[in-house]
Amino acid sequence: MGCRDFCRRLPSSSKLLYSKLSRKKHITEAEVGASALARCLNTLDLTALGIGSTLGLGIYVMAGQVAKQDAGPSVTLSFLVAAIASVFAGLCYAEFGARVPRAGSAYVYSYVTVGELIAFVIGWNLVLEYVIGTASVASGYSGYINYLTDYAINDTLTHYMPMKLSWLSPYPDFLAFTITVVLAILLSFGVEESSIFNNVCTLINLMIVVYVVIIGSMKSDVHNWSIKKSEIPEGVKGGEGGFFPFGVSGMMRGAATCFYGFVGFDIIATTGEEVKNPKKAIPFSIIVSLLFIFLAYFGISTVLTLMLPYYDQNEIAPIPYAFEKTHSSFAKWFVLVGALTGLSTSLLGAMFPLPRILYAMANDGLLFRFLAKIHPRFQTPFIATLLAGTFAGVMAMIFSLKELMDMMSIGTLMAYTLVAASVLMLRFRDLDESDSDPCLEKTVNGDSLDVDPIIPFNSITCRCIMRQYFNVDRLATTTAASFAVAKLNVVLFGVFSLCVGACIIFLEEFLVDESLWAILVLCMFIVFLLTVLISLCLQPQNHDSLSFKVPLVPLIPSLSIFINLFLMLKLSGPTWIRFLVWLIVGLLIYAFYGIKESNEAPVQFHFEEKSMINEVIAEELNFEN
């Protein structure tokens, strides 16, 4: 029994609802070439944009913070783990950039491959990601200016305008709000002008990173990586000392935080409609920018933890503080200039994709249409840019940096997970399958309809299922059955990845104590996970011709899914609650507006009429037989 046979047995209303939620966006070659946005970005612009959008808060704030609170000197390995996860996600993004060069990032990718509901959820998630990303960088930028003024702004506003709520900022951060709105106005005037500004700032930023690594290495002390517990001052949170003062668990916890430092490279994939040669420029720019980003993070975190003990790091401005403690006054001020430059480009990178994702969703009819209006002179989503900047500015003004960073990761990790799953779907799909809903059959020959009769349930045997599940016949060409198995395996792999991750995180104490039941539970889920992966490896893949493909499929996308889900499980309960509130608001918008106004709705309505005729004829044929 095939997927469509199962769907025919569902109630008609359920099938129609499913077909609406799973309808896919169709992109033609003509649509790829004809964009309302100006194509003015080249490979250098994209690489600089990816680096500039990422090298900011991660270097100038996060490195010292993670070293002090979570990982100690092993923060270098935390960045390595986060980099590996980002490379896997970057490879998946690069393949999608070659497949679907359209604005919208993971939103468009999931719309084309998975379905409309999932696409809306992930697009809505990306809106949250970039709003919070913009707000958090603006808050960090404001914090550095406060550091320059010896916290005069902070003290004044806290005294006269305090906000005494634990989940809000201590005071309304008007500086962060102003910075965000000014940048939104700059972006609304045109991407070409702002990309030139970004390229200059990124070059300065990289020069500062090189300077810090060279000068900082001259003031390094290797002993800071092997501090004994007895050397840690009393009353200081220093763990057990050594390279892993908070254990491997602390290093992995730091990796979950450091992953925030790599958020931003996917901005490259959102610019498909503004790139001169998207199929080649997008994948190349993603890989190169990730390499530069990791080298910068690794170098900075190494130098910082060698210059000062990990427990003595400053959480607000760690690099200037380190040079101040080592009596390097010139280096301190030189780095402060670089920090403000780096945070400027990071702020640009965080805000840049936000109006474009709103534009893509509104242009598809899933969000309000006025957000898709393009300014006739500047050729930018003018209204979406200004509204997005204002909303992000308000978030930066009223929320603390800690709250913003806690809300950041979940949307990003979910987007990366869905992109990896979509790569698997595309690789294992049946190329002969209709572009319409695979669960509903429609073939038209002249005035007649050809419909396959329904296969009886009793014709399916366990042996038949196992032969297909492990591809015993060694089929080399994709079929509807192999694609169905692959889709099932992708879902099961995600479920068992969550189970394995939950066992590792929440049963850690029992596993360390070698409790037999905990070990058996973990081993059971690992066996299930490996079985699903083996089945996926045995299924035939299609051979689409692309300018870039992820190597070692399905291993790399599967690893990406596992790592992303594991890091999601490291997030706190309040983070999940805030995310669910945001998600409910988005689903209400989709239910009462998007599902009716979608561009795919007229196509779906025409298709539903044909599929219902097919269904009636199929049932009559089955009854006669």
pTM of the model: 0.79
Which structure tokens are listed for 36?
Answer: 């309302």
Same domain, 51 and 124: yes
428, 449, 471: which is the final residue of a domain?
428
Please check whether residue 455 lies inside any domain of the structure.
Answer: no
Residue appearing with tokens 């680096």 = 51
What pLDDT score was predicted for residue 434?
43
Which pLDDT does position 208 carry in this prediction?
82
Looking at the fold, whether 283 and 193 belong to one and the same domain comes out as yes
Are 204 and 260 in a shared domain? Answer: yes
Tokens of 551: 């190597």
Clarify whether residues 485 and 360 are in a common domain. Answer: no
Residue 105 in contact with residue 278, Cβ under 8 Å? no
CA dihedral (94, 95, 101, 106) positive or negative = negative
Structure tokens that stand for 581 in this block = 């509130």
Same domain, 42 and 152: yes
Q: List 273's β-bridge partners, or say none.
A: none
pLDDT at residue 535 in the model: 94
Amino acid 498: pLDDT: 94
Alpha-carbon dihedral 138, 139, 145, 148, rounded to 10 degrees:
-140
Sign of torsion over alpha carbons 70, 73, 74, 79:
positive
Do 393 and 177 meet the contact criterion of CB atoms below 8 Å apart?
A: yes
| 28/25 Cα distance (integer angstroms) | 10
Query: How is 58-97 classified by DSSP, letter by letter?
Result: IIIIIHHHHIIIIIGGGHHHHHHHHHHHHHHHHHHHHHHH
Same domain, 120 and 206: yes
307 found inside a domain: yes
Given 566, 586, 603, the domain boundary residue is 566
* Amino acid code (one letter) for 48: A
- Residue 535: inside a domain, yes or no? yes
Q: Are residues 391 and 468 both part of a single domain?
A: no
Looking at the DSSP bridge assignments, the partners of residue 275 are 41
Domain membership flag for residue 536: yes
Q: Is residue 482 part of a domain?
A: yes
Q: Are 58 and 405 in contact (CB under 8 A)?
A: no
Same domain for 482 and 339: no
Q: How many domains does the chain have?
A: 2
Specify if 298 maps to a domain: yes
pLDDT of res. 452: 39
CATH number (domain holding residue 68): 1.20.1740.10
* Statement to judge: residues 256 and 168 lie in one domain: yes
Of 533, 566, 599, at which residue does a domain stop?
Answer: 566
Going by C-alpha positions, the residue among 90, 35, 61 that lies closest to residue 420 is 90
State whether 489 and 351 are in the same domain: no
Q: What are phi and psi of 513, to 5 degrees?
A: -80, 0
**What is the amino acid identity at position 524?**
M
Q: What's the domain range around 488?
A: 461-566
Cα separation, 48 vs 198, whole angstroms? 7
Asked if 384 and 468 sit in the same domain, the reply is no
Residue 112: per-residue pLDDT: 75
pLDDT mean by block of 10 residues, the chain; 625 residues: 48 65 68 57 79 75 85 91 86 74 64 80 84 86 83 84 78 89 82 62 80 88 89 85 88 84 74 69 81 89 92 84 83 81 74 81 87 78 86 87 75 82 86 47 36 46 80 84 90 95 90 91 96 94 79 92 89 78 89 86 56 51 48
Is the residue at 122 inside a domain?
A: yes
Res 474: pLDDT: 86
477: three-class secondary structure by DSSP: coil
Token pair of 306 as six digits: 């060698």
Residue 452 lies in a domain: no
- Residues 215, 75, single domain; the answer is yes
In this structure, the dihedral spanned by the alpha carbons of residues 620, 621, 622 and 625, taken in order and rounded to 10 degrees, is: 120
